[in-house]
Amino acid sequence: MIRKISAALAVSAALGLCHAANAATEDDLKDLREQVRQMKLDYEKRIDALERRLQEAENAAVRAEATARNAGATASKAATAANQAAVQASSRPTGENAMNPGVSLILNGIYSNLSQDPNGFRINGFVPTMGDVAPTMRGLSLGESELAFAANIDHHFRGTLIASISPDNNSAAIEEGYLQTLSLSNGFTLKAGRFFSSVGYQNQIHAHAWDFADAPLANKVFLGNQLSEEGVQLRWVAPTDLYLDVGLELGRGRQFPGGPDGGRNKNGFGSSNLFTHAGGDIGASTAWQAGLSYLSTSAQDRSYNDLDATGTTVSSSFSGRSRLWVLDGILKWAPNRNNTYTNFKLQGEYFRRSEDGNLVYDTAAASLGTQTGGFASRQSGWYLQGVYQFMPMWRIGYRFDQLNSGTTTLGLVDSGALGAADFPVLGSYNPTRHTLMADWSPSEFSRIRLQLARDRSRRGATDNQVLLQYIMSLGAHGAHKF
Amino acid sequence: MKSIFKLVIAVAAALAALPAFAAINVFACEPEWGALAQELAGDGVSVYSGTTALQDPHRIEARPSLIARVRSADLVICTGADLEVGWLPLLLTQSGNAKIQPGSPGFFEASQYAAKIEIPKIVDRSLGDIHPSGNPHVHLDPRNIATVAQVLGERFIRLDPANADVYRTRAASFQERWRAAVQHWEQQAARLRGAPIVVYHRDMSYLINWLGLREVGSLEPKPGIPPTPSHLAEIVERMRREPAKAIVYSAYNDPRAAEFLSERARIPAVMLPFTVGGSDRARDLFGLFDDTLARLLATVK
């Protein structure tokens, strides 16, 4: 560009000089030529200088560009490093509380207004379980507080301990304390220790997660409220898209329907439970699960107290086989499986039990003297409950319980040694109960519940119950069990 | 003879149509990670997403069908940062599957590879259902998707080394397309910078952070606590004084609270797909951000 300009200047200068030449002398011409030569030299010098400066500027620009590139690379390296540092900084070590087990605590309190005395509670038609089946005491009371610890032990095992602290006798009991395997693979899981038996559906759920304040009547008479077994459980989940599991539990039979209380003094096991579940989804909004379990126990000296015909409290005990079949089903519905706003849960179980063995009347010889006779019973019971969340935080539910005392054959009565009046609690009777509840859960961690029930467990005495309960959960996040 | 020949041809064609290698069974806790696995491994994976865009990922139950899927999974991809704390541990312990336990190559937590924001200084449930390790919804910043894709691609190679080249090629192709897309989205969204918005739950924080939006309130009074009339009234009052440009909510949120506020405060409300499957256009990760930006740009004037 600059060269073109200088050429143009030279040409125009030359043209201009031609005009002047006509009028000028030879000397003048010389002078002029000299001047032109000077000018040319002068311009060339200036042009050179300009070109040099331009070259320098260009070099500087290239250098600046390179520097900028380097700076950019450094900056992006710094950004990557900073990002990595941020990732590091923002990731706390995962796992429950670094290395401490996850700890959670359940607080539970209740106000109960009962039209019948809970101390006289019994479920007529059925062998008393000696379990914790009676309604809570009247008035205000603190329920059982629950303290749970759980964590992975290593890559093979996970451990869980759940203790319930009873306010009445200031004692802590282990509800569950077990290990379970993580590394057996192929769908197998082994559990060992004390755990809620996988018999039926409701039995495995801790009381604070129940949809009603108390257990169904069937769970009370067939499982002594809640069966916690000591033993081992092997469970296998099938490799299918439809959920299918099969499991076997072997236990010591430490609780009803086993016995005596605490289990027999013998090697081997006193109870076995075989169970299977299937479950899946229906459409975009419904999920289901169905289960079948068979609990077989061999009880020895499983005792209970009753008033005989003379009005004396006598202790009787059963030894023999107890077989319990439980069929359970759960159906859950939530629009598009989004249970935040509305959802519905239908749950029901059917129990069928047969017991065969001997019954010893008046083991302590406190009344008519100790006598032994045969014992056989075929009994059943069921419940069905539905819980509907109609808006966030609010749920209502209804449960119906019915027991069928079926047939109970007593050898001592058949032989005429004793009368049916000596076994009043075993007399034929079909208890029923209606329960309504409404609860409010301002967050996932708190719940306040009102429950009304009309309980006809006792022959000839309807217990109208009003319960107001709170359940609070502190610490580690609870599990959303199906 | 001819028919036998035809049969042979048909069988051969059917065999050729089968994937060249056994697919890795992927259980994705959320659809976005399922979509990412699909991008990075294509036919090499068979993906099942445990949740949909219409479900609140905090409130999932460990239902039987999920246990069954985790039982057969070779790789479980979840968000982590306590998002699935209520249900994933149950699925893992009930599955009887050692391959996908935490610490195994078959367990992948995406949020571990992203810089988390909103890490609470005080961890207390009186502040709502907060996550001690920070906001878990990292996928709404596409730069996090790129970082996670990097690590996830390597994980596929580790699980299936025989097909390492396939995964490498797919990862490189994804990263290239993703980079270009992010650039395009950032240009598109330049005018959204600084726009004040109201959210439903704080699940959009990474999107807000990326686009330079300004969150000026949430419909939930506290994280995880549903909107209350008194809290909504307070926001309406605040919006009269300093109006926001939009109210955004996720596909799984009830639109009623947002619509209520929208009407009272005269601010447009917009549903964002939140994750893959949250809207018709959000069919994959690209569609998710295309649609999110389109909806934001159409609302924020």
Q: Does B112 touch chain A (CB under 8 A)?
A: yes
pLDDT in tens, A403-425: 999 999 999 999 999 999 999 99
pLDDT in tens, A80-117: 666 666 666 655 555 555 678 889 999 999 999 999 99
- Distance CA(A446)–CA(A474), nearest Å, equals 9
pLDDT in tens, B237-273: 999 888 999 999 999 999 999 999 999 989 999 999 9
The pLDDT, as a whole number, for residue B16 is 44
Q: How many other β-carbons are positioned within 10 Å of the β-carbon of residue A115?
A: 13
Strand runs labelled E in B14-125: 24-28, 45-49, 75-78, 107-109
Helix (H) or strand (E) holding B39: helix B31-41
**A71 pLDDT above the threshold of 70:** no
pLDDT cut 70: percent of chain B above it: 93
**B135 pLDDT above the threshold of 80:** yes
- Distance CA(A256)–CA(A301), nearest Å, equals 11
Residue A480 and residue B114: Cβ atoms within 8 Å?
Answer: no
Q: Does B150 touch chain A (CB under 8 A)?
A: no
pLDDT in tens, A233-291: 999 999 999 999 999 999 999 999 998 888 888 898 999 999 999 999 999 999 999 99
In the block, tokens 């996970």 appear at A158
| Contact in structure between A235 and A181 (CB atoms under 8 Å) | no
Residue B86 and residue A479: Cβ atoms within 8 Å?
Answer: yes
User: Of the candidates B63, B69, B98, which has its C-beta nearest A241's C-beta?
Assistant: B69
Q: Does B118 touch chain A (CB under 8 A)?
A: no
The pLDDT, as a whole number, for residue B40 is 96
pTM equals 0.84
Which tokens in the block code for residue A93?
């070590």
pLDDT in tens, A154-204: 999 999 999 999 887 778 899 999 999 999 989 999 999 999 999 999 999
Question: CA of B53 to nearest chain A CA: how many angstroms apart?
Answer: 10
Interstrand relation of B269-272 and A286-307 (parallel, antiparallel or unpaired) = unpaired
Nearest to A351 by CA among A135, A129, A189: A129
- Distance CA(A243)–CA(A227), nearest Å, equals 25
Q: Domain ranges for chain A, please list them.
A: 2-90, 104-475
* Exposed e or buried b per residue across B86-110, where buried means at least 16 C-beta atoms within 10 angstroms of its C-beta: bbbbbbbbbbbbbbbbbebebbbbb
- Distance CA(B264)–CA(B240), nearest Å, equals 9
Residue A338 and residue B102: Cβ atoms within 8 Å?
Answer: no
**B83 pLDDT above the threshold of 70:** yes
- Distance CA(B164)–CA(B156), nearest Å, equals 8
Give the alpha-carbon dihedral of A438, A440, A441, A442, to 10 degrees. 170
DSSP A233-255: EEEEE-SSSSEEEEEEEEE---S
User: Of the candidates A152, A189, A444, which has its C-beta nearest B129's C-beta?
Assistant: A444
Mean pLDDT, chain A, integer? 88
- Distance CA(B56)–CA(A335), nearest Å, equals 12
User: Of the candidates A89, A180, A340, which has its C-beta nearest B93's C-beta?
Assistant: A180
Which of B55, B65, B83 should one mutate to test binding to chain A, selecting the residue with the greatest count of A CBs within 10 A?
B65
Q: How many other β-carbons are positioned within 10 Å of the β-carbon of residue B279?
A: 20
The number of helix segments (H) and strand segments (E) in chain B equals 10, 8
Which ipTM value was assigned to this complex? 0.87
Q: How many other β-carbons are positioned within 10 Å of the β-carbon of residue B197?
A: 24
User: Of the candidates A83, A237, A444, which has its C-beta nearest B224's C-beta?
Assistant: A444
Give the alpha-carbon dihedral of A73, A76, A81, A83, to 10 degrees. -170
Phi, psi at residue B34, to the nearest 5°? -65, -45
pLDDT in tens, B162-221: 999 999 999 999 999 999 999 999 999 999 999 999 999 999 999 999 999 999 999 999
Question: What residue type is assigned to position B147 of the chain?
Answer: T
Strand runs labelled E in A283-312: 286-307
Q: How is residue B213 annotated by DSSP?
A: -
Q: How is residue B122 annotated by DSSP?
A: S
The pLDDT, as a whole number, for residue B6 is 58
Which residues in chain A are closer than 8 Å to B60, comparing Cβ atoms?
480
Kindly indicate whether the domain formed by A104-475 is annotated with CATH number 2.40.160.10.
yes
User: Of the candidates A182, A237, A443, which has its C-beta nearest B71's C-beta?
Assistant: A237
pLDDT in tens, A302-334: 999 999 999 999 999 999 999 999 999 999 999
**A458 pLDDT above the threshold of 80:** yes
A231: left (phi over 0), alpha (psi -120 to 50) or beta: left
Domains along chain B with CATH numbers: 21-184 (3.40.50.1980), 190-299 (3.40.50.1980)
The pLDDT, as a whole number, for residue A403 is 98
Which residues in chain A are closer than 8 Å to B250, comparing Cβ atoms?
none
Based on its alpha-carbon atoms, the radius of gyration of chain A, rounded to whole angstroms, reads 44
Strand runs labelled E in chain B: 24-28, 45-49, 75-78, 107-109, 196-199, 214-218, 246-250, 269-272
- Distance CA(B96)–CA(A180), nearest Å, equals 10
- Distance CA(B182)–CA(B140), nearest Å, equals 12
Which residues in chain A are closer than 8 Å to B56, comparing Cβ atoms?
338, 340
Phi, psi at residue B258, to the nearest 5°? -65, -40
| Contact in structure between A396 and A437 (CB atoms under 8 Å) | yes
